[in-house]
Amino acid sequence: MAIKRNKITVVGAGFTGATTALMLAQKELGDIVLVDIPQLENPTKGKALDMLESTPVQGIDARITGTSDYAETQGSDIVIITAGIARKPGMSRDDLVNTNAGIVRSVCENIKATSPDAYVIILSNPVDAMTYVAYNALGFPKNRVIGQSGVLDTARYCTFIAQELNVSVEDVRGFVLGGHGDDMVPLVRYSNVGGIPIEKLIPADRIEAIVQRTRVGGGEIVNLLGNGSAYYAPAASLVQMTEAILKDKKRILPVIALLQGEYGYDNLFMGVPVILGGDGIEKVFELELTEDEKAALEKSANSVRGVIQVVTGA
Ligand SMILES: NC(=O)C1=CN([C@@H]2O[C@H](COP(=O)(O)OP(=O)(O)OC[C@H]3O[C@@H](n4cnc5c(N)ncnc54)[C@H](O)[C@@H]3O)[C@@H](O)[C@H]2O)C=CC1
Ligand SMILES: O=C([O-])CC(=O)C(=O)O
């Protein structure tokens, strides 16, 4: 059988969606279909064509198209959902819940009909709850419904650690557990630089400042931009997850997964470290946590539960 090119659909052609499409093309991860609402069909086609016309200059091979018609997304291997409204200064991600739940539901109905075998990555906020909404609307197995938060939160955390020590970001390792909100849990005990635990290198009060800055990292960008939220680092995070799946890399990355007993949580979507490979979420890692870490995770889980209750009406 002939080998086929990968097909990746990006729903939402705004800041994160368009940036993601370009970064996917730059890595030649597949052909890209950018989808937005019918009222924005021409601008969506225009963005896609503009990106396509950059490919000869960039020396990359990717077909990029824009549309509002899901027929063109038929048979996608990966669907990335960035559709929805973004917050502005003074808002929390949770303020977006009602609007975005409706958008994510309607997008998922279309995906279910046109790409029933796809791996679906959700970005729309509040993303833990939106991943739950997508899972229910899609009816896909849990390994194929994956939320993005931890890769981005960890990238921010590692950036701040590298800045603090004036070392390369390449040598910083760590990760962030829990919901994508201001009580997310950067795991200091599991963070190191070149194999050296950060607690041996950075004073406790500075580590605490880095943890706090990470927790509000999204808000820091929202306040600086003034009229929207982050998109370069979020897009890079989506691309890393997509690459892990399409190349069956079996990366260990923090993603939003359905927990069914892991960490003591049932039927909750939240950020945890997983193996991300050719079959999506292939395994959830359950780490031993201290009592303090457990309490911090419980606080974050309670916030996620509260938002999910808004969408379930419970
Ligand atoms: N989980 C995370 O780490 C992050 C989440 N986000 C979230 O991602 C979402 C998108 O952010 P941006 O791209 O900056 O917003 P944006 O406003 O630039 O783009 C959103 C796009 O979605 C489109 N859209 C709305 N309804 C749609 C529908 N039914 N079908 C298709 N497209 C539809 C809009 O027309 C718009 O073009 C927001 O909810 C934001 O909060 C953003 C960054 C990080
Ligand atoms: O802060 C926001 O609203 C967007 C987002 O989730 C992030 O950048 O972490």
Burial 166-182 (b: 16+ CB within 10 A, else e): eeeeeebebbbbbbbbe
- pLDDT confidence of 107, banded at 50, 70, 90? very high
How far apart are the C-alpha atoms of 42 and 110, rounded to whole Å?
A: 20
Q: CB under 8 Å to 311, separation ≥6 — which residues? A: 97, 101, 129, 132, 133
Statement: residue 314 has pLDDT above 70 = no
Q: Which of 33, 34, 37 to mutate to test the pocket of ligand 1 (most atoms within 8 A of CB)?
A: 37
Rg of the chain over Cα atoms, rounded to whole angstroms, equals 19
Cα–Cα dist 83/40, whole Å: 12
- CA 49, 50, 54, 56 torsion-angle sign: positive
Whether 296 lines ligand 2, by a CB cut-off of 6 Å, is no
**Residues annotated as part of the active site:** 180
Pocket of ligand 1 (CB under 6 A): 11-17, 35-37, 40, 82-87, 96, 100, 103, 106-107, 123-125, 127, 148-149, 152, 180, 228-231, 234
Residue-wise pLDDT tens digits, 260-289: 999 999 999 999 999 999 999 999 999 999
Helices (H), the chain: 15-26, 41-58, 97-114, 127-138, 150-165, 204-215, 217-225, 232-246, 291-312
- The rounded distance, in Å, linking the Cα atoms of 230 and 232 is 6
Pocket of ligand 2 contains residue 222 by CB under 6 Å: yes
Which residue ranges are tagged as binding site for substrate? Answer: 87, 93, 125, 156
pLDDT tens track for 183-220: 999 999 999 999 999 999 999 999 999 999 999 999 99
Q: How far apart are the first and last CA of the chain?
A: 49
Percentage of the chain with pLDDT > 90?
98
Nearest CA to ligand 1 atom 31: 36
Q: What is the pLDDT of residue 1?
A: 87
Please check the confidence at residue 313 and state whether its pLDDT lies above 90.
Answer: no
The pLDDT tens digits of the residues spanning 226-249 come to 999 999 999 999 999 999 999 999
Domains of the chain with bracketed CATH: 7-148 (3.40.50.720), 150-312 (3.90.110.10)
Known binding residues for NAD(+): 12-17, 36, 100, 123-125
What's at 139, amino acid-wise?
G
pLDDT at residue number 114: 98
**CA of 157, nearest ligand number:** 2
Token pair 């890692």 in the structure block, residue: 285
